[in-house]
Amino acid sequence: MTPNALGAVASPQAARLDRAAIQALYNRPLLELVFEAATVHRAHHDPQYVQCSQLLSIKTGGCQENCGYCSQSAHHKTPVKREPLMSTEEVLAAAKRAKDGGADRFCMGAAWREVKDGPDFDRVLDMIEGVNSMGLESCVTLGMVNEDQASRLADAGLDYYNHNLDTGRSHYDKIVTTRTFDDRLNTLGNVRKAGMSVCAGGILGLGEDRDQRAELITELANLEPQPESVPINALVPVEGTPLSEQQVVDWTEMVRTVAVARIAIPGARVRLSAGRQEMSEEAQAMCFLAGANSIFVGDELLTTPNPSQSSDAAMLAKLGLKGVGMPKQAPGK
């Protein structure tokens, strides 16, 4: 198969795997699992390429949801301050800096429970059009959207809509109660009906067990069609949230989840997302071997820290990987 300019190749929907099969993958010896995932990865993608996105919080804090991990929830007392929706000019200036710094996709996140029609939504549509005009892929995460709102986003040219499932269905109501698991699936359905690509993944370290992680991947794998982008996050505990005392998830569970996601959702870009700041280069290298082929660049992910772009460029150079659009850097520098 021939890779495209970003290193991906077209691939059919994977054969369906039930939860028992996903659980069996999770419980395999780690190196055997990574070997299989690496084989699947090479059958569907050029393993040299890592897609680079940058994420900006365009409206921060004050969210009506009570997600137990989130620093932006109005239900929790955290260090995050409420900020209004940024101006279109501010966002487009940030998008230009992201492109100049090596990102090829620009993601915009607003701390909303759901989209509400009005001037703020109109402004977001203008932002999307402006980002697209720069030659960047556009992505937003705005909470729940109905069919009409999804259509308006598509008409503005939006490439990806991000709406994570967060965790397995059986663990979900222990993390958030202000919207249901099916609410999330309904939003993803509306995005699909509008013809946009889906970015949907989850978070490890929310108190779930391995079987519930398998439950999450099974749900994602059974979306029709499967998500084009699957972010795998590790919880970054934030003071003031209900999950602030959670232990950081072991790096091997990140590798396992990346590998299982790669096998179950072979055509997707599997993104190593939040929590990467706490991972060693060696652990990240194992994730890339297991099939991760996308990262967020930039110093911050919404409100949590992220490795610097210079350190990412140096790491990818050491590994002989090509960050799509990232500045070139000689190995060992």
- Asked whether residue 101 is domain-assigned, the answer is yes
Pull the structure tokens for residue 234: 């590790």
The one catalytic residue in 256, 262, 271, 276 is 271
Residue 285 maps to which CATH number?
3.20.20.70
- 9-33 b/e with 16+ CB inside 10 Å = b? eeeeebeebebeebbebbeeeeeeb
Annotation marks residue 139 as catalytic:
yes
- Asked whether residue 65 is domain-assigned, the answer is yes
Per-residue pLDDT averaged across 191-204, rounded?
97
Annotation marks residue 152 as catalytic:
no
Annotation marks residue 271 as catalytic:
yes
Annotation marks residue 287 as catalytic:
no
- Selection from 65-69, 101-105, 233-237, 255-259 with the highest mean pLDDT: 255-259
- Asked whether residue 304 is domain-assigned, the answer is yes
The one catalytic residue in 52, 105, 139, 179 is 139
Mean pLDDT of the chain: 88
The one catalytic residue in 63, 105, 152, 269 is 63
Residue pair 295/271 in contact by the 8 Å Cβ criterion: yes
- Asked whether residue 53 is domain-assigned, the answer is yes
Instruction: Tell me what pLDDT residue 313 has.
Output: 85
- Asked whether residue 328 is domain-assigned, the answer is no
pLDDT band with cut points at 50, 70 and 90 for residue 33: very high
pTM (2 decimals)?
0.88
The one catalytic residue in 52, 67, 256, 269 is 67
Annotation marks residue 52 as catalytic:
no
For 274-287, how does the pLDDT look when each residue is reduced to its tens digit (9 = 90+)? 888 889 999 999 99
- Asked whether residue 2 is domain-assigned, the answer is no
pLDDT at 2 over 50: no
- Asked whether residue 186 is domain-assigned, the answer is yes
The one catalytic residue in 52, 70, 262, 276 is 70
- Asked whether residue 234 is domain-assigned, the answer is yes
For 44-101, how does the pLDDT look when each residue is reduced to its tens digit (9 = 90+)? 999 999 998 999 999 987 788 888 888 877 788 888 788 899 999 999 999 999 998 8
Domain membership of residue 120 as a residue range: 19-323
- The β-bridge relationship of strands 105-110 and 137-141 is parallel
Per-residue pLDDT averaged across 172-197, rounded?
96
Q: What does the alpha-carbon distance between residue 239 and residue 175 come to, in Å, rounded to a whole number?
A: 16
**Number of domains the chain contains:** 1
Three-state DSSP state, 234: strand
Three-state DSSP state, 26: helix
